[in-house]
């Protein structure tokens, strides 16, 4: 029994570490943790962002197709405090030559200087861009430089060539050549205006985190928690399953709680990132589930003894909370499906899993009644 106790205690611990690593990794270094608003557009959040694949740079943008305006915020840390940073659109080709750039650096006075730079060749530049730009602005915060700009883009534009770079220093107002390391030579690529390409491995990082949030909550409230209840309700009537059922039950509920809390935190995080869209029902049910479940965990310590006269009240309370949590959990999972709108097969798979669990529960409920009736008639016969 010792081994079974320690195993059931190890499972939640192990899951906890895996989940924390998963969450820490997905939240590190992504543009979605930078909530940048567009001062040129009523201070609303930029519609899209992407983690640029080189030089640890980030791009936030909103494309308004009806007036052919692209509003951009470029975020990057220069290699040295006095270094320059630059982001550009190249209307004619890929790469640096032809790039219509915007360059920024923090001068000795602490003021951020930002100016346009038309890179006609590797050696020839001018301050006259071939594209229309306005609202050009730069700022610096804790070493990070941000360039904000509005750009007129061609009508019906879908993809633009973008180029970005960081350089070591600025001498007498002229930027010094950047390094030619592989990273510095591959800092260029397409910019899909509709945001479809914040795509890393097929899914953009925000959707990825939404999926993690969904999986955590489905596994915990939608599966482990009801499974633990089924185990507690039906396994314990079999004397041979005692006390295994108890350890399985506690293992399930503790894992469900740990995973569920992780899912809840990812949910709060996602919610705090999108201030303009609030799914209040989904959010409030989520908070209620968390509160009920936390009360439930503490109530375990206040449980009266098996034959205490108040035990029956405790049982009524315990069971009503458990069923409330299961029902709210499943409702919220379907609310989440509606928000995330995953491929239909995920929803159907979950419906399949939960139905199988429900069928097993009904089946065991019947068996339980039969066993209980048999026991009663046996005791009668013996009398």
Ligand X SMILES: *[C@@H]1O[C@H](CO)[C@@H](O)[C@H](O)[C@H]1NC(C)=O
Give the C-alpha separation, 201 to 220, whole Å. 26
Give which of ligand X, ligand HEM, none residue 48 binds (C-beta under 5 to 8 Å, depending on kind). none
Q: Closest CB to ligand X among 148 and 350?
A: 148
Q: Of the two residues 126 and 355, which places its CB atom closer to ligand X in the complex? A: 126
Quick one: 18 or 181, whose CB is closer to ligand HEM? 181
Question: How near is the Cβ of 31 to ligand X at its closest, in Å?
Answer: 19
Q: Where in 52-111 is the site for ligand HEM (CB under 6 A)?
A: 86, 88, 95-97, 99, 101, 103
Nearest to 148 by CA among 209, 117, 102, 196: 102
Q: What is the DSSP letter of 187?
A: -
Run of H or E residues at 151: strand 144-152
Task: For residue 162, list its beta bridge partners.
Answer: 89, 189
Of 106 and 210, nearer to ligand HEM (C-beta) is 106
Least Å from the CB of residue 115 to ligand HEM: 11
Other beta carbons within 10 angstroms of residue 313's beta carbon come to: 11
21 or 128: CB nearest ligand HEM: 128
How far from the centroid of its chain's Cα atoms is residue 235's Cα?
A: 37
Q: Which is nearer to ligand X, 133 or 368 (by Cβ)? A: 133
| DSSP element (H, E) containing 84 | strand 84-90
Dig out the tokens for 375 from the structure: 């026991």
Residues in contact with ligand X by CB under 6 A are 40-41, 64, 66-67, 69, 71, 79, 126, 128, 150, 166-168, 178-179, 181, 183-184
Joined tokens for residue 365: 């409920």
- Beta strands 144-152; 69-76: pairing state: antiparallel
Alpha-carbon distance 344 to 347, whole Å? Answer: 5
Please pick, from the candidates 8, 30, 32, 165, the single residue that binds ligand HEM as defined by CB under 6 A.
Answer: 165
CA 367 – CA 231 distance, rounded (Å): 14
Q: Which does 101 bind (CB under 5 to 8 A by kind): ligand HEM, ligand X, none?
A: ligand HEM
- CA 45 to CA 37: how far, in whole Å? 4
The tally of CA atoms less than 13 A away on the side-chain side of residue 258 is 17
Q: Minimum distance between the CB of residue 97 and ligand HEM, rounded to whole angstroms?
A: 6
Question: How near is the Cβ of 162 to ligand X at its closest, in Å?
Answer: 17
Q: How far is the CB of 101 from ligand HEM (least distance, A)?
A: 4
In the bound complex, what is the minimum distance in angstroms from residue 95's beta carbon to ligand HEM?
Answer: 2
Q: Can you give the binding site for ligand HEM, defined by CB under 6 A?
A: 86, 88, 95-97, 99, 101, 103, 117, 119, 122, 163-165, 175, 177-178, 180, 185, 187-188
């Amino acid at each position: 029994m010792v081994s079974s106790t320690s195993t059931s205690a190890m499972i939640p611990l192990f899951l906890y570490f895996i989940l924390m690593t998963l969450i820490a990794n997905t939240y590190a270094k992504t543009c979605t943790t930078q909530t940048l608003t567009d001062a040129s557009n009523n201070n609303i959040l930029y519609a899209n962002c992407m983690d640029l694949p080189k030089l640890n740079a980030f791009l936030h943008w909103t494309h308004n197709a009806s007036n052919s305006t692209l509003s951009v915020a470029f975020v990057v840390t220069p290699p040295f405090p006095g270094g320059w940073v630059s982001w550009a659109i190249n209307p004619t080709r890929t790469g640096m030559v032809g790039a219509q750039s915007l360059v920024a650096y923090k001068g000795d006075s602490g003021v951020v200087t930002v100016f346009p730079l038309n890179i006609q060749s590797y050696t020839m530049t001018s301050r006259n861009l071939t594209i229309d730009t306005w609202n050009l602005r730069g700022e610096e915060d804790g070493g990070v430089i941000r360039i904000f700009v509005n750009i007129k883009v061609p009508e019906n534009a879908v993809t633009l060539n973008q180029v970005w770079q960081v350089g070591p220093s600025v001498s007498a107002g002229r930027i010094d050549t950047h390094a030619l390391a592989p990273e510095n030579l591959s800092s260029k690529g397409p910019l899909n205006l509709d945001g479809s390409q914040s795509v890393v491995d097929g899914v953009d990082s925000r959707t990825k985190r939404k999926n993690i949030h969904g999986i955590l909550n489905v596994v915990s409230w939608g599966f482990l928690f009801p499974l633990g209840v089924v185990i507690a309700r039906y396994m314990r009537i079999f004397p041979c399953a005692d006390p295994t059922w108890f350890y399985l039950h506690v293992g399930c509920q503790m894992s469900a709680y740990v995973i569920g809390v992780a899912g809840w935190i990812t949910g709060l995080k996602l919610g705090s990132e999108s201030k303009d869209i609030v799914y209040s029902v989904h959010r409030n049910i989520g908070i209620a589930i968390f509160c009920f479940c936390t009360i439930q965990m503490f109530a375990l310590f206040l449980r009266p003894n098996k034959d205490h006269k108040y035990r029956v009240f405790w049982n009524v309370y315990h069971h009503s909370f458990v069923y409330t949590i299961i029902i709210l959990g499943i409702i919220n999972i379907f609310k989440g499906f509606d928000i995330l709108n995953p491929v239909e097969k995920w929803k159907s798979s979950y419906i399949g899993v939960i139905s199988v669990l429900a069928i097993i529960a009904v089946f065991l409920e019947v068996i339980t009644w039969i066993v209980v009736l048999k026991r009663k008639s046996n005791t009668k016969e013996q009398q």
